[in-house]
Amino acid sequence: MITMKMRARLDPSFAPKVDLAASSRVKQAAIFVEGIAIQLCSRGGGSASGPQIKAQQYYYGPPKNDWVRASPEGQPPYAQTTGLKTSIRHEMVGLLSAIIGPTVFYGKYLEYGTKRMAARPFMRPALQKAIAAIPQFFRSLI
């Protein structure tokens, strides 16, 4: 039995199957992180009913045409429209790596902040929440 396992590890025809299985697991993990990030960006800020505190409320033009609340500093951004959360995607880079993030231009400003706005990270917290679960995607390969 031990000899058969060793032979399977050394068989060159076995390597593409392992690569394909590992690539599939990386994609599943990327989709998992993507889902958590979308969930973090799904909380609505709601109507703020007029300007009171400039730093926390602002007027959002079309399509809302209403005063809305910004999320607290350091918390994921409130969803004012569906633009940010629908732009979060994953892209496979090679067999064993993926890039996950928003495609809208303002995603990086929300994640890292600017000189005039504090960061409202959503991708880094999504990865932190997923880190404990990611090894489970690879358990069946071992």
Cα angle 126, 109, 106 (rounded to 5 degrees) comes to: 95
Distance CA 18, CA 29 (A): 16
Residue 88 in this model has a pLDDT that exceeds 90: yes
In the numeric block, which tokens belong to residue 47? Answer: 């109507």
Identify the pLDDT of residue 32.
94
Which comes out higher in pLDDT, residue 60 or 86?
86
> Which residues contact residue 48 at a Cβ distance below 8 angstroms, ignoring those fewer than 6 apart?
56, 57, 66, 67, 68, 69
Give the per-residue pLDDT at 10. Answer: 53
Q: In terms of pLDDT, which residue wins out, 131 or 11?
A: 131
Secondary element (H or E) of residue 68 = strand 66-69
Tell me, what's the pLDDT at 67?
A: 73
pLDDT digits (tens, 9 = 90+) for 99-120: 999 999 999 999 999 998 889 9
In this prediction, residue 71 has a pLDDT band, given cuts at 50, 70 and 90, of confident
As given in the structure block, the two tokens for residue 21 are 């299985």
What are residue 98's DSSP bridge partners? 92
Report the pLDDT averaged over residues 122-139: 90
Share above pLDDT 90 across residues of the chain, in percent, rounded to a whole number: 36
pLDDT at 54 over 80: no
| pLDDT at residue 55 is higher than 70 | no
Angstrom distances, CA of residue 70 to CA of 33, 59, 140: 24, 10, 43
Q: What is the pLDDT of residue 1?
A: 39
Q: Which of 15-29, 47-61, 71-85, 105-119 has the lowest mean pLDDT?
A: 47-61
Give ∠ CA 31-87-74 in degrees, rounded to 5: 85
- The SS3 of residue 72 is coil
